[in-house]
Chains A and B, each alone.
Chain A
Amino acid sequence: MTAVPSAPGPGATPVERLPEQAYLRMSLVLRVGLGLALAILGVGIVAHILAFPNATSSSTLSSNPILPYLSLTGLASGLAAGSVDAFLTLGLLVLVATPIVRVLSGFYYFRRGGERAMTAITLTVMVMLVVGILVIGPLVR
């Protein structure tokens, strides 16, 4: 059985269209963010294996090298010192940040299109994301 397609019915609002550029830009944000994160993580994991040739899965799972780099100063000093694990932490942070940048990009296009309700919704999502990550994570650690 093939049902009738869900075409907009009577009283439906005209389809609001984001500009084609919004779709292309958001797709680009995702490709660049993911590519950058994977490049950092790929180089980092190879460097980690080379730096710790005797490491095993058990020793890896029983410790977490990310902990010293969870503050801005810790991460900055780790990167400056050339720490492989600080580098891996940076890759994870880029991966987490990619969807947030995508929301930011949506905010920009909704605002530019004068869509006040969608702009407010996107801004609320972004604020919740940033505040949640910056406040809740460190609080519950």
Chain B
Amino acid sequence: MELALFVALLVLVAIAAGLVGSLTGLGGGVIVIPLLVILFGAPIQIAIGTGFVTILATSSATGAAYVRDHLTDLRIGMFLEIATVPGALVGATLTVFLTHANLESALLVALGVVLLAIIPGSLARRHIELPPPLPQDARSRALGLTGEYHDKVLDRDVPYQAARTSPALGVMFGAGVVSGMFGIGGGVFKVLALERFLNLPMKVSTATSNFMIGVTAAAGAGVMVTAGYVNPIVAAPVAIGTAFGAFLGSRVLPTLSNRTVRILFVPIIALLAIEMILRGFGLP
């Protein structure tokens, strides 16, 4: 395929990835990575490296809007990064070491199974617009992990407070490892930890996840770039397309209900899980 056509197709794929990634808090790497491997025949390590670029572009493009609109909780995001960043550094290092080993396959299958296990819980919560209040734990009180956002759909200010920070930190470390290993942002686990453990509204969870995946991805991307696993000829058009798609997504999210965002989230988790399991078994 000619280079100009290749670049144009990458931009189109990345626009779709950025749009979906920003709406769901997943980052878009989950779409770019398999398509790079399946459609364009990219080596897996280059696809993973490009996945990080997708996440960086999504996070920065959406972050600018979500932070300005106070949908992102900066305090909670920063607090949880203390677990995701070391996780991402561990994960990216593992990927470099496991590139030539078969252990990656077993991890992929395990990850897929864990993702499938999340789906029933998310489906059970599909009718919940806002979570019922839970008491803050001591750490949440000490750090003032509370906030408020204006919900355009409900047309009112919605207050919230973080609960159960200890299990959330554990899940966030795992999310960091997953992000660092597979270049997928770990947004699935970040949204899970933010919504299910910290008990935040879904839109605050996806916006804060979008904020966090950029910092986590910077750790993983830094390792992958300096290790030589990011090809700029592939990464540049992907970054441009993703940023455009994510910008579109950031315009759409505030107009959706929390239930709609969750309904978008579930099938994408299912697709991600199936993709991981198939990839783990060596199928495209």
Which chain A residues numbered 94 to 141 have a C-beta less than 8 Å away from chain B?
A: 95-100, 102-103, 106, 110, 115, 117-118, 121-122, 124-125, 128-129, 132-134, 136-138, 140-141
Interface Cβ pair total, 8 Å cutoff: 273
Chain B residues, CB < 8 A from A95: 53, 56-57, 60, 221, 239
Do B132 and A118 have beta carbons less than 8 Å apart?
A: no
Known: A129-B219, A138-B226, A140-B96. A99 touches B59 (CB 8 A): yes
Do A34 and B236 have beta carbons less than 8 Å apart?
A: no
Do A64 and B161 have beta carbons less than 8 Å apart?
A: no
Chain B residues, CB < 8 A from A1: 127-128
Docked CA distance A6–B162 (Å): 9
Do A52 and B82 have beta carbons less than 8 Å apart?
A: no
Do B146 and A8 have beta carbons less than 8 Å apart?
A: yes
Which residue of A is nearest B42, CB measured? A61
Docked CA distance A11–B97 (Å): 48
Report the minimum CB–CB distance from B248 to chain A (whole Å). Answer: 14
Interface size on A, residues (CB 8 A): 80
Chain B residues, CB < 8 A from A41: 232, 235-236, 239-240
Report the minimum CB–CB distance from B197 to chain A (whole Å). Answer: 13
Which residue of A is nearest B157, CB measured? A5
Docked CA distance A48–B235 (Å): 13
Docked CA distance A82–B92 (Å): 31
| Residue from the list A3, A56, A133 in contact with B1, Cβ < 8 A | A56
Q: List 17 A-B contacts (CB under 8 A).
A: A5-B130, A6-B158, A6-B199, A13-B144, A27-B67, A27-B68, A30-B60, A30-B67, A57-B40, A57-B41, A65-B233, A98-B60, A100-B215, A125-B215, A128-B85, A128-B89, A141-B227
